[in-house]
Structure 1
Amino acid sequence: MKRLSEERAKILFEKLAKFIGPNVKQLIDRPDGTYCFREHRDRVYYVSEKILKLAETFNPNQLVCVGTCFGKFTKSNKLKLHITALTYLAPYAQYKIWVKPSFEQQFLYGNHVPKSGLGRITENTPQYAGTVVYSMSDMPLGFGVAARSTADCKLADPLATVCFHQADIGEYIRSEDTLF
């Protein structure tokens, strides 16, 4: 487990700020201890400093992972958030989109959210903002990017896309062979 380089740390925090804004500080300094981000084989892990100290006693070649995988850096040095980060990012999300019960299944199959599947949207959501997609019963379902601002959603056609799909909890089943 190595520290993120300055360039990769900047990419990570920009990506997190897109979804949770200034609440990134609350991910690091938590009431139950200090947490940090570490990199291992191009994957970014969110781990407690207490557990990190214990993990340093192992040979890095023998270590599979420590902590929660937040994402993976691609070969072009972009960060792709994994769905395992959802439980940590959802409580701090700035912009939220709720989908109707009839559309939850479609979103979990990897489809974008059309206006006809939109239940609610956070006020003043700008276009292309990172959003957390919820069911109407406030269960986080995944990540998305707002295709339209809140004002544009009110005037949009029912078949127009309002949220681009990025990741969802159905990925565990769809890609269980290729996750690790």
Structure 2
Amino acid sequence: MKRLSDERAKILFEKLNKYIGTNVTQLIDRPDGTYCFRELRDRVYYVSERILKLSECFSGKQLVSVGTCFGKFSKTNKLKFHITALYYLAPYAQHKVWVKPSFEQQYLYGNNVPKSGLARITENAAQYQGVVVYSMSDLPLGFGVLARSTTDCKTADPLTAVCYHQSDLGEYIRAEDTLF
């Protein structure tokens, strides 16, 4: 596992800032130890420094993964968060969207959230702001990007997309054939 280059570290922290803002420091300095981000085969892993030291005795070819995969860099050097990062980012999310119970399944199938499926939204969220999508029972379902600001959502048409789908918990089932 190698350290992220300066360019990739900048991309990662900008993306984290889009979803959790200044709470990035709480991801790194946790009560149970210090955590860091490492890269292996274009994937970004979130791992404690204690486990990282233990993994140094393995070569890169022997190592499959260490820690939690947060995302993958594409060939154009863009970072896409994996759903495995959801439970680490959800407690620190600054902007949230709650979907109606009747729309949860549609979201988990990979659809965008229209205004008619929107139950609640945090105040003062800007357009293209990263959000965590929740069910009404406060279960994190996935990541999204707001298509409209909070004020624009109030006057939008019921079929207008309010939140663009990024990733969701349903990916495990949809990608079941390709994972193994």
Matched, 1:13 2:13: yes
Q: Return the alpha-carbon distance in structure 1 between the equivalents of residues 28 and 179 of structure 2.
A: 26
**Hey, what's the Cα distance between the residues in 2 that align with 1:125 and 1:178?**
36
Percent identity of paired positions between Structure 1 and Structure 2: 80
- 1:5-154 alignment, distance < 5 Å: 5-154=5-154
Q: Does 1:175 align with 2:175?
A: yes
C-alpha distance after superposition, 1:95-135 (max 9, x if no partner): 00000000000000000000000000000111110000000
Q: 1:177: how far off?
A: 3.3
Amino acid at match of 1:170: G
TM-score w.r.t. structure 1 length? 0.98
TM-score by length of 2: 0.98
Aligned-partner residue type, residue 26 of structure 2: Q
CA drift of 1:179 comes to 4.4
Residues 116-167 of structure 1: CA deviation (Å, up to 9, x unaligned): 0000000011111000000000000000000011111110111011000000
Paired letter, 1:144: G
Runs of 4+ aligned structure 1 residues displaced above 2 Å come to 176-180
Counterpart residue number, 2:2: 2
Task: State the distance in 2 between where 1:178 and 1:9 align.
Answer: 29
Unaligned runs of 5+ in 2: none
Letter in 2 for 1:14: E
What is the distance in 1 between the residues matched to 2:151 and 2:79? 29
Give unmatched runs, 5+ long, in structure 1.
Answer: none
Matched, 1:155 2:144: no
Q: CA deviation at 1:178?
A: 3.1
How far apart are the structure 1 equivalents of 2:178 and 2:91? 28
